[in-house]
Amino acid sequence: MIHVNRVHHIAIICSDYERTLEFYKRVLGFTVLAENYREESKGYKTDLALGDQYVIELFSFPSPPARPTNPEAAGLRHLAFEVDDILAEVEELERMGVEHEAIRIDPSTNRRFMFFHDPDGLPLELYEK
């Protein structure tokens, strides 16, 4: 077994860089740590943080293929973010016009959670603390 300390970051490839960057900043509250245009790939590599923790590498490339949808494909299923008050966060999503699924109860933890999507259809989950 190797000794992993924690998840370092999550890499996301988007189809519309400006739209996706704005979504992660405006809807989820991420801040930009570094933004670099890479001429060799004709796209951006941008590091995003929540508070002081580096979380996401946002990549853009010309014409990336679409993400597979239902039935779910093998690979990353969704990203989950912990929240203190899911009802307040759902109200905020609605205020911003972000469509979402209904709040459900996790039968194994009895905690509330719900899903919505980023601009490319990547499933995002809010999970109440």
pLDDT tens per residue across span 49-72: 999 899 999 999 998 888 777 767
| 70 lies in some domain | no
6 pLDDT above the threshold of 90: no
Report the predicted TM-score, pTM, of the whole model to 2 decimal places. Answer: 0.86
- Residue 113 sits in which domain range? 76-129
Phi, psi of 71 (to 5 degrees): -65, 155
**Are 106 and 59 part of one and the same domain?**
no
Last residue of a domain, one of 42, 64, 86: 64
| 90 and 60 both lie in a single domain | no
| pLDDT at 3 > cutoff 90 | no
Read off the CATH number of the domain in which 52 is found: 3.10.180.10
Domains: count for the chain: 2
Which domain-ending residue is among 64, 96, 112?
64
β pairing state of 123-128 and 79-83: parallel
Q: With 90 as the cut, is the pLDDT of residue 22 above it? A: yes
